[in-house]
Amino acid sequence: MAAVDLTTHPGHLARRLQQAHYLLWNTMVSEQITSPQFAVLNALVAEPGLDQRTVGERVGLDRSTIAEVISRLSRRGLLDKVRDPQDGRRFLLRLTDEGTRTHRKLTVRTARMNQVFLAPLSAEEQTVFFDLIQRVSDAAEGLRNPTEPLTTQC
C-alpha cells in the first residue's frame, strides 16, 4: 500500500542504465574485456607509466577493485607491472603491444556501441544527458570529500 514508484528513484535508474549498458557491451564490444578494463587500458594509453592508485583515481575505481582489474589485465598480457625504482611501494603500469592493439580495436567498437546506445536521444538530448549525469555524480562525489580546499593557512 505504501509502495513507492522506483522509476522516480535515481539509484534504481542508474542501476538499470548500467545493466543495459553491460548487456550491450557484451554483444557489441567484447565478451573478454569489460568496460572498466577498457577504461584502465585507456588511462594507460593517455598516461603510460602511471601507478596503480592513480589509474584507479583516473577511472573511478577504489584501491581493491583496481587491484583486481589490473591483475586480470596483467594475467592476460595486456599490461606490465614494474616496481618503481624511485619508490618501492609503487608499481608502474604500462601497456604491452597486445594491450595497445586491444585498446585500438575496442575504441572503434565502443564508439559504434555508444551510437546505438544513445540512438533514442537527439543530439541535443545527448548533450543534456551527459551534462545532467555528470553534474549529479560530481556533486555526490563532492559530498564525500569534506571539502578540504578550505585550508586557508597553515
Question: What angle do helix axes 10-28 and 97-118 make, rounded to 10 degrees?
Answer: 120
Contact (CB, 8 A) for 40 and 70 = yes
DSSP 75-89: HTTSEEEEE-SS-TT
Q: Is residue 30 a contact point for DNA (CB under 7 A)?
A: no
Instruction: Quote the least distance from Cβ 51 to a copy of itself, whole Å.
Output: 17
From the CB of residue 34, how many other CB atoms can be counted at a distance below 10 Å? 16
Question: Would you give the binding string for DNA spanning residues 66-95, x where CB under 7 A is met?
Answer: -xxxxxx--------------xxxxx----
Burial degree of 100 (CB within 10 A; 0-12, 13-18, 19+)? middle
- Contacting positions for a copy of itself (CB under 8 A): 1-4, 6-25, 35-36, 39, 42-43, 45-46, 59-60, 103-104, 107, 110-111, 114, 116-121, 125, 128-130, 132-141, 143-144
- Contacting positions for DNA (CB under 7 A): 15, 19, 22-23, 26, 34, 36-37, 51-54, 60-65, 67-72, 87-91
